Structure 1
């Protein structure tokens, strides 16, 4: 099947109408992720001034808050911001994006992007990160990725990418440090952390459906794909419980 990939702006805005679905079904992140960020930064998140950009519904922001960080969420989308406030009424949020951060100069110990740096333009977001971080501050970017050495996950990912009109190079672009900062001004160190969760098949499929490529897809085509995918997965998980295995790709850079 050949598909035409929707405009990036359409995909970026698509989350706002599906914020509740996103909040209910997207995977979280393991404690080891935040341990690794602290080790790379040489300091604890507890008491640190942190801005979590592209905070969405607050999955990462709430975990940073639980680590004791003085965290501010930055989110451009109205629907996502509304869902964030419902779930995290005690965490401050401002509307904005990584290309023009509504933050003061040199005021942050950490700047974090969970599943969101790829929505920025590094020509703007890199200088903005350098502007708002204090000297010795830490920029951390991360993404949950399906573990492709797990046979069923590799086959499922191939089906998802094909349905979304993505080739393998597009699907794996987050692995490219040079794309995170083409200017080379940030010296990223790459980490990979494995974790898993066991969820009902309905949750797994709703998670797939909450990704932008599927949110902007024709509803009939999307529903047909998810129905077919349910059949594939029931052959692997006949009890209807899916063991999802993820590799968290983490990129960390410290300012000078």
Structure 2
């Protein structure tokens, strides 16, 4: 099977937006504590744009912290789910390569699981354009903790089935050299480990909401998930899966 294009993967979420909203993990409270520390200001009252907001998982946390947040999302399906979940939070259509904001208008720009869908040659200058002096760009990703044996084994099965490099996928956006290949930003890095316990059906639905699954054929996707259920129930016979995540946070401040 021909590998899906980057564009196809980026747009694949819209057809599964409800599945994404219901099953994807959110983020631990320590994440926003770290964002505030590295950005050098509280979120309360900050003018924030959450780009690639998807169904609003990160936007909801920023809003709850008191940020004056506006979401940016290019996809119709994801935007529909966002408006259902957060009807009181403003949402505009757009993406990180063409931000719909005036110069020097934002205190903080956030990308939760979405920076890797941008082109840094365009998204970095755009970030610097819209941030106020001393403002900050924050990028973060949840990735599976590959030093946990069952997660490593599951990742290896996925790599074989879909012919993907799991380590390369994990590094897709979380490394500074990938986030800003031209080195225009100085990032501070913070790593957080956290976990959640969910029913096996939720875990599999979460897995199936990733682009590598969404862009494959239904037959291959359902076949893999059925076999994966059998593997998981051997490890978690009570049907409750403990997902462990490595959360990588990168924060860069604009010149004051």
- Fold match, TM over 0.5? yes
Q: Which residue of 2 aligns with 1:214?
A: 213
Contact 2:155 2:166 in 1 (8 A): no
Aligned length: 254
Matches of 1:172 and 1:9, distance apart in 2:
18
Map 1:174-253 to 2 at 5 A.
174-253=173-252
Q: Which runs of 5+ in 1 are unaligned?
A: none
TM-score where L is the length of structure 2: 0.97
Root-mean-square deviation (CA), in Å?
Answer: 0.9
TM-score where L is the length of structure 1: 0.97
Query: SS of the residue aligned with 1:89?
Result: coil
Matches of 1:206 and 1:172, distance apart in 2:
19
Match of 1:34 among 14, 32, 35: 32
Q: Which residue of 1 aligns with 2:22?
A: 24
Q: Which residue of 1 aligns with 2:136?
A: 138
Q: CA deviation digits over 1:35-63, x for unaligned, max 9?
A: 00100111100000000000000000000
Matches of 1:86 and 1:168, distance apart in 2:
33
Matches of 1:144 and 1:163, distance apart in 2:
22
Q: Which residue of 2 aligns with 1:79?
A: 77
Map 1:48-59 to 2 at 5 A.
48-59=46-57
Contact 1:161 1:171 in 2 (8 A): no
Query: SS of the residue aligned with 1:245?
Result: strand
Displacement of 1:169: 4.3
Matches of 1:188 and 1:31, distance apart in 2:
21
Matches of 1:124 and 1:141, distance apart in 2:
16
Matches of 1:227 and 1:158, distance apart in 2:
16
